[in-house]
Structure 1
């Protein structure tokens, strides 16, 4: 059986270790992509998960890759092989899914952009585990049991590392990062919808900087 390559694991580990926080970014207006991500970068965030929840996601990935060459820029909310291929073409440096299928897990084994597969149960984790995956997104974190669930998963899967996302707030990020099997935390609190709508990029930078200060 084909296993995940060392290159893919090294790339995902590099992404997860680059920043304690991974903003989940949904672009509603294409002109917002670069200034929003620049504001996050100025606040100390080095990893951007730009979701494909809107029609602007792929173009935003292309634009931010060019504008912020020192940042890690990935595609989130990838739910099909077609989207995976589109994200690769757009230049995504990594892929994040909300869940897993055998088809996506197997496709990623030879893809250009390595995968951070989303799981919420031990059974889902085992699908990836058997192919060599050891880094996972835990989603939706709060609904799926939060920090206690991740602590419990550390028993049978001591070498698995997680990026929990979903319902996490600035006030609760520290609780997750205190766990030995959590490398980074994802969340949308870093990009409040009303602040982005006002194009208050200085406030986005302050939120990012303050959130990092809270956990370091």
Structure 2
């Protein structure tokens, strides 16, 4: 199996990749536009709701300036569905051979998930150098990633899971972290209220973080 690796610049697009759960398709476009206004040019729409794929379609069609990814890709069908909807990259929480093969067959860049040194090494053997570290806090957090930097200097990570404003800068200070993923830019209550100005303000704060 050969890896369709994530371009190096994906982890450099923004210090934060918003990890978004969309329950209402009508929220998709104003949400994406609010992030762009706040200086965040990337979004990961998780495939956790029935609205996710239609939301990806809407964002792809109406907000082409944002780098649109599909997250929580957990079964092979997700990969083809997300690609057909207009996703430009795929993110998995973990990695199996069948899942990676299906993701690679779409031709899209893949950010595969790993939680241990063994998983990271297995992905490195397949040609991946940019990985999602998930669930970041539960898997050892900043200290664990700092420990990986020595023996695995050629790998870069996007830690996700338990990352927020209080610890994002600590992760971003690590030499092997390119960006972090988080849901704090798009809280469920804010989305339900349609408060897009609040999303823009949270995006502005996130964009100011230094990787």
Q: TM-score scaled by structure 2?
A: 0.95
Task: Quote the Cα distance in structure 2 between the aligned partners of 1:106 and 1:28.
Answer: 29
**For the Cα contact (< 8 Å) 2:14–2:42, is it kept in 1?**
yes
**For the Cα contact (< 8 Å) 1:12–1:116, is it kept in 2?**
no
Task: Quote the Cα distance in structure 2 between the aligned partners of 1:65 and 1:148.
Answer: 37
> In structure 1, which of residues 115, 121, 137 is the aligned counterpart of residue 110 of structure 2?
115
1:193 Cα offset (Å)? 1.2
**For the Cα contact (< 8 Å) 2:136–2:160, is it kept in 1?**
yes
1:104 Cα offset (Å)? 1.9
**For the Cα contact (< 8 Å) 1:12–1:94, is it kept in 2?**
no
Change in 2 beyond 3 A, CA 1:195/1:109: closer
> In structure 1, which of residues 151, 155, 178 is the aligned counterpart of residue 150 of structure 2?
155
Match of 1:208 in 2: 203
The answer on 1:50 being equivalent to 2:45 is: yes
The answer on 1:3 being equivalent to 2:8 is: no
Task: Quote the Cα distance in structure 2 between the aligned partners of 1:38 and 1:22.
Answer: 15
Question: Which stretches in structure 1 are left out of the alignment for 5+ residues?
Answer: none
RMSD: 1.4
**For the Cα contact (< 8 Å) 1:12–1:115, is it kept in 2?**
no
Aligned length: 211
> In structure 2, which of residues 137, 142, 148 is the aligned counterpart of residue 142 of structure 1?
137
1:166 Cα offset (Å)? 0.4
Question: Which stretches in structure 2 are left out of the alignment for 5+ residues?
Answer: none
The answer on 1:34 being equivalent to 2:63 is: no
* SS of 2:208 mapped into structure 1: helix
**For the Cα contact (< 8 Å) 2:76–2:103, is it kept in 1?**
no
Match of 2:160 in 1: 165
> In structure 1, which of residues 119, 129, 144 is the aligned counterpart of residue 124 of structure 2?
129
**For the Cα contact (< 8 Å) 2:20–2:186, is it kept in 1?**
yes
* SS of 1:95 mapped into structure 2: strand
* SS of 1:74 mapped into structure 2: strand
1:214 Cα offset (Å)? 4.2
Task: Quote the Cα distance in structure 2 between the aligned partners of 1:207 and 1:140.
Answer: 22
